């Protein structure tokens, strides 16, 4: 009887449907989203660029203080988990915490394996924004995010129907205003381009009426 129960639970963990992700689906989605996000961060940081949201705040503090980006990103997101728990439940909160922790780790580990001898800031902004946007899209579709403003954007989308990508674009713009203290106008311009690419990727592709699996 116990063996039958174990097999049933294992089958449930592996089985997905058009409306529900399996545990294996979620693990793969969280890992893939975090990996893409960390690669995008590498592209941006290699060109000295910034972005919006808590990622942008972490970039600002990293450039200003020299502290590790991954550590700053992890710490900055801590206050937002209570909102995530209250609005989206324990499952979303745990998956988001896992994605943030894994992304924080990867942003420190990946540069030891991948490096760029030359990268144009504008190219880095476009590709970096696109890759981070794709990573966030994967996380959103598995009921997770990279914390911070992403949680707030999802909350406002569920509460008022506002597009998460457009809401986050407003937050990103606010953060980028502060980048004038640590970057040149050209770097800021490229950073804005990257933020627009990132958030347009979300705004165009993240629609609940097109993707319903949870």
How far is Cα 51 from Cα 192, in angstroms, rounded to an integer?
A: 7
Q: Quick one: pLDDT band at residue 6, thresholds 50, 70, 90?
A: very low
Q: Which of 78, 87, 85, 53 is nearest to 155 (CA)?
A: 87
How far is Cα 49 from Cα 58, in angstroms, rounded to an integer?
A: 12
pLDDT at 10 over 90: no
How far is Cα 73 from Cα 59, in angstroms, rounded to an integer?
A: 8
How many CB atoms within 10 Å of residue 3? Answer: 7
Q: Are 204 and 133 in contact (CB under 8 A)?
A: no
Q: Quick one: pLDDT band at residue 4, thresholds 50, 70, 90?
A: very low
Predicted pLDDT of residue 53 = 79
pLDDT at 3 over 60: no
How far is Cα 26 from Cα 32, in angstroms, rounded to an integer?
A: 10
Predicted pLDDT of residue 12 = 53
pLDDT at 50 over 70: yes
Q: What is the DSSP letter of 123?
A: H
Q: Are 129 and 193 in contact (CB under 8 A)?
A: yes
pLDDT at 86 over 50: yes
pLDDT tens track for 108-128: 999 999 988 899 999 999 999
How far is Cα 126 from Cα 70, in angstroms, rounded to an integer?
A: 22
Q: Quick one: pLDDT band at residue 15, thresholds 50, 70, 90?
A: low
pLDDT at 64 over 90: no
């Amino acid at each position: 009887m116990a063996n039958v129960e174990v097999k049933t639970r294992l089958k449930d963990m592996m089985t997905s449907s058009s409306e529900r992700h399996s545990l294996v689906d979620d693990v793969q989605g969280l890992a893939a989203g975090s990996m893409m996000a960390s690669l995008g961060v590498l592209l941006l940081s290699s060109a000295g660029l910034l972005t919006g949201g808590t990622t942008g705040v972490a970039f600002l503090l990293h450039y200003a203080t020299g502290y590790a980006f991954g550590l700053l990103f992890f710490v900055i997101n801590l206050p937002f988990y209570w909102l995530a728990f209250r609005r989206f439940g324990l499952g979303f909160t745990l998956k988001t915490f896992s994605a943030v922790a894994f992304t924080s780790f990867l942003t420190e580990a990946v540069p030891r394996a991948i490096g760029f001898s030359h990268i144009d800031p504008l190219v880095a902004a476009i590709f970096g924004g696109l890759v981070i946007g794709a990573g966030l899209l994967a996380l959103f579709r598995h009921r997770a995010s990279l914390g911070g403003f992403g949680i707030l954007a999802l909350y406002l989308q569920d509460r008022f129907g506002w597009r998460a990508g457009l809401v986050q674009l407003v937050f990103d713009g606010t953060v980028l205003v502060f980048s004038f203290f640590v970057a040149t106008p050209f770097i800021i311009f490229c950073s804005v381009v990257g933020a627009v690419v990132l958030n347009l990727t979300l705004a165009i592709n993240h629609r609940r009426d097109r993707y319903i699996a949870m």
